[in-house]
Chains A and B, each alone.
Chain A
Amino acid sequence: MKILVCISDVPDTTTKIKFTNENKELDKTGIQWVINPWDELALTRALELKESSGGEIESITVINVGSAASEPTIRKALAMGADNAIRVDIEPKESYFVAYQLAEAIKPREFDIILAGLDSADYNGASVGGMLAELLDMASVSAVSALNIEEGKVLVNREIEGGTQKLEVKTPFIAVVQKGIAIEPRIPAMRGIMMARTKPLEVVEPSNANCLTENLVYELPQPKGACRIFKEEDIKELVEVLHKEAKSI
């Protein structure tokens, strides 16, 4: 069995977002780039499964759409334990464009399970996994919060509004994963970092893809007015304000 994990390269979640070029572009100065948190959890789970599979899972591949600038992020994924990597050599634009690039790169290869994060911490399209499934004409399960392989059967938990379903899924399929799939992301050990340098990272040419959307301009939320602070002894007054002015209770 072969697993593929789609990873994207996003600003660290503590980044203070700023824009440049008349608010048409993200200001990249000082940004720490990391593996998208959901993708990192997906990769962590894939590695756990491989280690406990007794050889049944042959390999974990990661794939990224990005310029050479995203290689440190890909190397980190290899350092965490992925066996090899594919980079589609083009700057990612919008979701459909990225999904199309991924689909074309994946088509000539075979994977049993493809994992993608439910959302990305940058443009929050929450869409590449689902689009990829449609482009590859594959089954997809969204909001997967647990993934297990038992006696050759693939079992997943899927979050639905108000509950959780347990499903058995026939491969190949795409699992769009969310929180819960793994608890803590794996931190690469020194040995992993050394080994990552020599693991195969294949660079493939991009395909001709259209964009369906274009982000024209960005803005930051309006700053909030100053917070009105009450002391412990003035709680009644606050409740009055919440009741009469804010009308929230």
Chain B
Amino acid sequence: MTLLVYTENREGKFKKATFELLSYAQELAKNINTEIVALSIGDVSPDELNKLGNYGAKKVFSVKDEKLDLLDNKIYTAVIADILEKENAKIIIFPDNLSGRALAPRLSAKLKAGLVSGVVDIPSSYDPFIIKNKVFTGKAYASVKVTSDIKILTLSQNSFGIKDPSSDTPQIEDIKPDISCIDSNLKLLSVDMVTGKLLLTDAERVVSGGRGMRSPENWNLIEELAELLGAATACTRPVSDEGWRPHDEHVGQTGKIIAPELYIACGISGAIQHVGGISSSKVIVAINKDPDAPIFEVADYGILGDFKNVLPELTKAIKETKGS
């Protein structure tokens, strides 16, 4: 019996979320005395695959096939199920992101394996298998019992942390899957990748603005601070609905759920829908001129004042601290 981790690469490189997933898996593997097998789909160099070993994978299945480039959920699921069976894996862990959400449910139904989405901790018990996840968009947690033999988990990002890498390398096995007989309904027409911009889901720091920013022209103040901090920029739903900022920056209940180390909220009142998307951030700083704004109820630190004065001052003060 082993523990299988689905590792996702972007243009051949693994991201932080993958190493977090493996760090998390190490903890589980230790507790149930088993080994971690990683599954990588796509074109990834041996050097990059070795990194999976640094974070605890004993074995890596590297699956390559042109047909997989289409990201057809149905074909992916068939490939993953095959390997799962071959390895007799009883626990499989996905990231709780777009791909985890696309694949884990299909696999769950295919294998009749209980799925717990958005887990935030290691299991509190292995037999019976009980684990905690986020529900009601971070407004509460549930302890979930999984009754099936195989268990599927998706791990909330930034909920566990990354262990220090070792110098261990994994055994790498290349696999050419037998998927010639599965037809795809999908035809890829074009791809539009965001380039040169730090993605919200990768960012350790985020600077975000709400309707209190008054107009899109004022976002240069946010961008300046974000650049200084190496942070991504985000916004609230009204801001993206107004078209002031792109939809992919919308953070909140119906947008992206994030959990960075530092979240700076400027001109955000703190509607419950927004707070649901950021409440797991480690440190929240709120800038608002209204002392009664609900954002101060979830923030760790607050600056009472108008963003027009506060943001330039804050940027200046951080520059000085960094320079010293």
Contact = CB atoms under 8 A, between A and B. Distances in A.
Chain B CB within 10 Å, residue with most, of A159, A162, A171, A230: A162
Given A95-B105, A179-B247, 19 more contacts: A17-B139, A124-B134, A126-B118, A127-B108, A130-B73, A131-B105, A140-B73, A170-B185, A211-B147, A212-B114, A214-B147, A216-B145, A221-B279, A225-B300, A227-B302, A228-B302, A231-B304, A232-B305, A241-B301
A171 B187 CA distance: 12
B317 interface: yes
Contact of B106 (A130, A145, A180, A240): A130
A96 B115 contact: yes
B140 interface: yes
Given A124-B134, A127-B104, A99 B109 contact: yes
A203 B62 CA distance: 48
Interface of B: 8, 10, 71-74, 77, 96-99, 101-110, 112-118, 130, 133-148, 154, 184-194, 199, 201, 205, 229, 241, 247-248, 250, 253-255, 261-262, 271-273, 276, 279, 282-283, 285-286, 291, 296-306, 309-310, 313-314, 317-318, 320-322
Contact of B321 (A119, A122, A184, A240): A240
Contact of B189 (A127, A129, A167): A167
Given A164-B192, A228-B302, A230-B304, A212 B115 contact: yes
Contacts of B314: 235, 238-239
Given A14-B273, A133-B73, A142-B73, A221 B140 contact: yes
Interface in A139-167: 139-143, 145, 155, 158-167
Given A140-B73, A248-B283, A162 B199 contact: yes
Q: Interface residues of B: mostly helix, strand, loop or mixed?
A: mixed
A211 B115 CA distance: 11
A212 to B, nearest CB: 3
Interface in A30-83: 37-38
Interface in A103-147: 118-119, 121-135, 138-143, 145
A130 B101 contact: yes
B191 A164 contact: yes
A169 B302 contact: no
Interface of A: 11, 13-14, 16-17, 19, 37-38, 95-96, 99, 118-119, 121-135, 138-143, 145, 155, 158-171, 173, 176, 179-180, 183-184, 210-221, 224-225, 227-232, 235-236, 238-243, 246, 248-249
A243 B273 CA distance: 29
10 contacts: A37-B253, A121-B137, A127-B105, A143-B101, A161-B199, A167-B186, A176-B102, A224-B299, A227-B300, A242-B283
Contacts of B140: 17, 19, 218-221
Contact of B310 (A11, A158, A232): A232
A242 B301 contact: yes
Contacts of B137: 13, 121, 124
B254 A38 contact: yes
Contacts of B135: 122-124, 215, 218
Contacts of A215: 135, 142-145
A118 to B, nearest CB: 7
A121 B257 CA distance: 12
A80 to B, nearest CB: 18
B143 A216 contact: yes
A230 B262 contact: no
Contact of A161 (B98, B112, B114): B98
Chain A CB within 10 Å, residue with most, of B97, B106, B241: B106
Contact of A235 (B71, B96, B142, B313): B313
